[in-house]
C-alpha cells in the first residue's frame, strides 16, 4: 500500500515542487544522488575509483513526452561517455529506454540507443539497459535483443526477480550470451505479475542468482542483502569462479561498509551513481522500493 501511494504521489506536480524545496528531502537526496550536474556525477565516480570501487552513472529521468527531450538525453549520454574516456575513469552508463523516447516512438528509441551504443563501442565502454515497470518489460527486452545482436560486448540488461516471468526471461537472455544485472525489483506491481511477499521475492532472487552464476556471462549481482551476498559467494566458490568472474553492484550511498569489505576481499564492486535535476524522481523511487532502507540511512546520517 505504501509503495502504491508513493507511486501515485510522485506523479503530482505540486507535490514534486513542494518536496524539492523541502530541506529534509534535499538533505536525504544527497545521500543517494551525486548531484544535479554531470560534473558532480563524474566527480563521484572519481572518488569511488580512488576507493577501489567502479561506477555506473545514470542521468536521472524517465517517460519523456517530447522528441527533443529524448534526443537531448541521448546527447547527454554521449557526452558522458566521452568525458569518462577522457578522464580515464572506471565507469559505464545505465539508461532507461523511456528516457530516450520509448513512450513516444519505439523507432526513435532504437535510433537514439544505437547512437549511444556506437559511441560506447568506439570508446571501449559499456551501456546497461535498465528495466522499468512491467508493461515495458517485453518491449525493453525486444529492443535490447536487437541491440545485443549488433553490439554483443557493449550492451547489457537488467532483470527483476520479483516479476513472475523473470526466470523464463533469464534463461532466454543467458542463452543469448547477454550480460545481466540481477536485481530484486521495486516498482509497485500487481500480484498477477509480481511476487508481493518479501519471502517470495527473496526466494526468487536467490534462485535466479544461482542460475545466473552457474550459466551467465560476467554476471552482476545487485543487492545490499548480506544473506544474498553470502549465498552468491558460496555458489561462486562451489563453481570455482575467480573473484573477477562476477561483480557485486550497490546503490550510491547505501551499504558502503559492505561494498568496501568486498573490495578488500578482492571482489569487483560497482556503485550505481545517479545524477541530474530530476533527483526527486529517484529519491522517491528509493523510498517506494525500500522505505526501511532509506530511513535507516537517514538515521545514520
Overall number of domains in the chain = 1
Give the active site residue among 130, 169, 202, 208. 130
State the residue range of the domain holding 70. Answer: 34-275
Q: What percent of the chain has pLDDT over 70?
A: 85
As a whole number, mean pLDDT of residues 38-63 equals 97
Which pTM value belongs to this model?
0.89
As a whole number, mean pLDDT of residues 122-143 equals 98
As a whole number, mean pLDDT of residues 135-157 equals 98
Does 2 score more than 50 pLDDT? no
Give the active site residue among 181, 255, 270, 288. 181
- Answer whether residue 300 is part of any domain: no
Nearest to 186 by CA among 130, 256, 251, 132: 132
pLDDT digits (tens, 9 = 90+) for 175-208: 999 999 999 998 989 999 999 999 999 999 999 9
CATH of the domain at 144: 3.20.20.220
pLDDT digits (tens, 9 = 90+) for 151-167: 999 999 999 999 999 99
- Answer whether residue 18 is part of any domain: no
- Answer whether residue 301 is part of any domain: no
pLDDT at 281: 73
Asked if 221 contacts 247 with a C-beta cutoff of 8 angstroms, the reply is yes
- Answer whether residue 13 is part of any domain: no
pLDDT digits (tens, 9 = 90+) for 225-249: 999 999 999 999 999 999 999 999 9
Does 11 score more than 90 pLDDT? no
Q: What percent of the chain has pLDDT over 90?
A: 80
* Pairing outcome for strands 91-95 and 54-59: parallel
pLDDT classification of 282: cutoffs 50, 70, 90: confident
pLDDT at 248: 98
pLDDT digits (tens, 9 = 90+) for 244-276: 999 999 999 999 999 999 999 999 999 999 999
User: Is 130 a residue of the active site?
Assistant: yes
Does 298 score more than 90 pLDDT? no
Beta-strand runs (E) in the chain: 54-59, 91-95, 127-129, 155-160, 179-183, 220-222, 247-251, 268-275
- Answer whether residue 285 is part of any domain: no
- Answer whether residue 10 is part of any domain: no
Does 9 score more than 50 pLDDT? no
Contacts of residue 164, Cβ cutoff 8 Å, sequence gap at least 6: 192, 193, 194, 195
User: Is 111 a residue of the active site?
Assistant: no
Amino acid at each position: 500500500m505504501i509503495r502504491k501511494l508513493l507511486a501515485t504521489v510522485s506523479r503530482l506536480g505540486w507535490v514534486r515542487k513542494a518536496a524539492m524545496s523541502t530541506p529534509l528531502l534535499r538533505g536525504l537526496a544527497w545521500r543517494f544522488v551525486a548531484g544535479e550536474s554531470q560534473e558532480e556525477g563524474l566527480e563521484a565516480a572519481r572518488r569511488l575509483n580512488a576507493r577501489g570501487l567502479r561506477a555506473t552513472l545514470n542521468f536521472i529521468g524517465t517517460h519523456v513526452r517530447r522528441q527533443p527531450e529524448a534526443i537531448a538525453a541521448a546527447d547527454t549520454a554521449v557526452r558522458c561517455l566521452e568525458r569518462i574516456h577522457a578522464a580515464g575513469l572506471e565507469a559505464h552508463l545505465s539508461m532507461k529506454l523511456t528516457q530516450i523516447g520509448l513512450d513516444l516512438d519505439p523507432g526513435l528509441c532504437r535510433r537514439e540507443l544505437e547512437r549511444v551504443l556506437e559511441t560506447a563501442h568506439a570508446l571501449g565502454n559499456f551501456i546497461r539497459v535498465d528495466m522499468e515497470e512491467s508493461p515495458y518489460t517485453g518491449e525493453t527486452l525486444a529492443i535490447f535483443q536487437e541491440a545485443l545482436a549488433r553490439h554483443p560486448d557493449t550492451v547489457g540488461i537488467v532483470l527483476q526477480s520479483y516479476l513472475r516471468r523473470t526466470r523464463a526471461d533469464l534463461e532466454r537472455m543467458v542463452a543469448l550470451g547477454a550480460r545481466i544485472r540481477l536485481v530484486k525489483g521495486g516498482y509497485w506491481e500487481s500480484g498477477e505479475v509480481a511476487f508481493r511477499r518479501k519471502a517470495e521475492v527473496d526466494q526468487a532472487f536467490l534462485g535466479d542468482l544461482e542460475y545466473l552464476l552457474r550459466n551467465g556471462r560476467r554476471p552482476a549481482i545487485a543487492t545490499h542483502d548480506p544473506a544474498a551476498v553470502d549465498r552468491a559467494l558460496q555458489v561462486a566458490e562451489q563453481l570455482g569462479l575467480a573473484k573477477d568472474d562476477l561483480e557485486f553492484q550497490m546503490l550510491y550511498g547505501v551499504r558502503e561498509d559492505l561494498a568496501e569489505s568486498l573490495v578488500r576481499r578482492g571482489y569487483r564492486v560497482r556503485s550505481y551513481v545517479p545524477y541530474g535535476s530530476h533527483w526527486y524522481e529517484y529519491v522517491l523511487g528509493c523510498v517506494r522500493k525500500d522505505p526501511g532502507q532509506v530511513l535507516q540511512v537517514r538515521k545514520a546520517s
